[in-house]
Amino acid sequence: MSETLSLRNLEWALTTITELFLLVYLLRRKLFRSHALFFAYILAVTLQSILLAATYRIWGSQSYRAWLIAWLSQLVMEAARLAAVTEVVRRVLSPFSGIWALGRRVLFVAAGSVLVYAALLSREYWFKLPLNVDRAMGLAVAAVLVTLLLFARYYGLPMDNLDRSLCLGFCLYSCFCVINDSLYDKWLLGYLNFWNFLGVLTFLASLFLWLGAVRAYSETAPACDPVVVPKELYGELSSELNIRLRLLNEHLNQLLHSGAQR
Amino acid sequence: MNFTIILFILLAVLLIGALVWAIRPPKRKLVSVNDVLTALSEERHYSRLPQILQALRPEDTAFLRARGFVLLRRRIRSERGRIALLYLDCLQEEYEKLLEASRVVAAMAPELVALDEAERFKLNLRFALGCRYLRWKLRLGLEPWRGFGLLSEMTSGMALRLEVATSQIGERAALSFAVSSIVKERDRGTR
């Protein structure tokens, strides 16, 4: 137990140092302007670490106050994480107005359905509200990011390495949060320290990923604005392309069915 | 173990799997607006379909079996299968080019028609599955149509629909010039 505790303290220290490094790099690369909400998120996480360290020192980690402060600050972190993810989504999709208009609706529906799903499945555990909120948000964030990546892949949208790393880091962290919360819910009630250790470890992995991407970030030439065609023209072209695609599908069907007409 | 917990964990693992798949760099190369216009005006492979269909029909080589040329018939059928595979490659290439073109157009659009996009996505899935299925059948030397006894026959109605669709395409070919002029104008403006 004490070994886990000292390891956890070491992990916390390492996480806080990495967060500070990341903040410094974000400032040095002037990314706090283009990635303002991500910068705010990392800043908030650092402040949360300091707040929790002070709380545990004053009231002890097992006190009700510490529990309350930890979960309330965690709710703030959830909001900050969601805001940072929204910023990434906006940055990737918004240069393409048509895709952005469709994409934000799809992403909103994806996030909404996951939240409703998580709420419905968690209703019998209402007394574990903070844990359920953490899990639902984790699932929603992961669903949004995976949908975003699939969208970007489908439409071949450009995405720089930093945004890709942010998606990867947030998504992996969120998925592990869901797994961690679920396991904790069932099995690990007696192993709070170990659960905390795993949670911080996955966040540390994401921090390293982001740090690497921010360090490697270089200001490239600004991409030229995408060409925009009038809406009517898009409608015409789009339906023409769909007709052609349907035509090819029907050709394939003819090939598949060819032997049947005898 | 609680079913709800399993569902949550399963969903998270599924999302990690989808993330790993989605984060890979795309294989296809990005095409320019010019490529879109070329794709819209290129020669089609449609015109060869009747010959391919004819060649794949078992009756077309049935007389060889009746006259005892079983080996020859088998060789001819395998050759025809190979040709059908090549045709399928061309069809798929053309399909992918058009799909890529539609994505480029979508990226240029100020607003997307969700139904068009959804239909394209559905068509894409259908085509990819059908193509894979047919290719494997042809590769394995199986007659693809054998398993399709229940499938509906090709009706004259479908042929008519194809005719209508093809003529619509002809009417709309002029649109590509409109896009071309917009791009040129914009290029001139940015220079």
Q: What is the DSSP string of chain A?
A: -HHHHHHHHHHHHHHHHHHHHHHHHHHHTTHHHHTHHHHHHHHHHHHHHHHHHHHHHHH-TTSHHHHHHHHHHHHHHHHHHHHHHHHHHHHHHTTSHHHHHHHHHHHHHHHHHHHHHHHHHTGGGGGGHHHHHHHHHHHHHHHHHHHHHHHHHHHT----HHHHHHHHHHHHHHHHHHHHHHHHHHTGGG-HHHHHHHHHHHHHHHHHHHHHHHHH---PPPPPPPP---HHHHHHHHHHHHHHHHHHHHHHHHHHHGGG--
Size of interface A-B (CB pairs under 8 A): 258
Kindly state the tokens that stand for B144: 């693809």
Q: What is the pLDDT of residue B177?
A: 53
**Does the beta-carbon distance from B108 to A182 stay under 8 Å?**
no
B contact test, residue of A131, A229, A232, A243 with most B CBs within 10 A: A229
Confidence of residue B166 (pLDDT cuts 50, 70, 90): very low
Q: What is the pLDDT of residue A168?
A: 92
Residue B165 has pLDDT above 50, yes or no: no
Mean pLDDT across B37-53: 66
**Does the beta-carbon distance from A241 to B120 stay under 8 Å?**
yes
Q: What is the pLDDT of residue B149?
A: 31
B139 touches chain A (CB under 8 A): no
> What single-letter amino acid sits at B181?
S
Residue B160 has pLDDT above 50, yes or no: no
Q: What is the pLDDT of residue B144?
A: 56
Q: What is the pLDDT of residue A202?
A: 86
Q: What is the pLDDT of residue A229?
A: 65
**Does the beta-carbon distance from A238 to B109 stay under 8 Å?**
yes
* Among the partner residues B26, B58, B144, nearest to A256 by beta-carbon distance: B144
Q: What is the pLDDT of residue B176?
A: 52
* Among the partner residues A179, A227, A257, nearest to B12 by beta-carbon distance: A179
CB B151 within 8 A of CB A260: yes
Please tell me which residue of chain A has the smallest CA distance to B191. Answer: A224
**Does the beta-carbon distance from A172 to B19 stay under 8 Å?**
yes
Q: What is the pLDDT of residue B153?
A: 33
What number is the ipTM of this complex?
0.71
Residue ranges of chain A whose pLDDT lies below 50? 221-222, 260-262
Q: What is the pLDDT of residue B154?
A: 32
B contact test, residue of A157, A245, A246, A261 with most B CBs within 10 A: A245
* Among the partner residues B105, B131, B169, nearest to A234 by beta-carbon distance: B105
Q: What is the pLDDT of residue B150?
A: 30
Q: What is the pLDDT of residue A221?
A: 47
**Does the beta-carbon distance from A258 to B56 stay under 8 Å?**
yes
CB A152 within 8 A of CB B107: no
B4 touches chain A (CB under 8 A): yes
Q: What is the pLDDT of residue B36?
A: 63
Q: What is the pLDDT of residue A86?
A: 92
Using a CB-CB cut-off of 8 Å, the residues of chain B touching A164 are 23
* Among the partner residues B9, B178, B190, nearest to A233 by beta-carbon distance: B178
Residue B151 has pLDDT above 60, yes or no: no
Instruction: Find which of A37-46, B97-106, B152-161, B173-182 is predicted with most confidence, using mean pLDDT.
Output: A37-46
Residues of B143-153 as b/e, b for ≥16 C-beta within 10 angstroms?
A: bbbeeeeeeee
Q: What is the pLDDT of residue A57?
A: 86
Provide the whole-model pTM.
Answer: 0.71
Q: What is the pLDDT of residue B104?
A: 76
Residue B35 has pLDDT above 80, yes or no: no
Mean pLDDT across B9-22: 88
Using a CB-CB cut-off of 8 Å, the residues of chain A touching B84 are 255
Instruction: Find which of A192-196, B8-12, B127-131, B151-155 is predicted with most confidence, using mean pLDDT.
Output: B8-12
Q: What is the pLDDT of residue B81?
A: 81
Confidence of residue B159 (pLDDT cuts 50, 70, 90): very low
Give pLDDT tens digits for B68-104. 788 888 888 888 888 888 887 887 777 777 777 777 7
**Does the beta-carbon distance from A249 to B126 stay under 8 Å?**
yes
The residue among B145 and A33 whose pLDDT is bigger is A33
Mean pLDDT across B185-189: 50
A231 touches chain B (CB under 8 A): yes
**Does the beta-carbon distance from A247 to B175 stay under 8 Å?**
no
d(CA A59, CA A5): 17
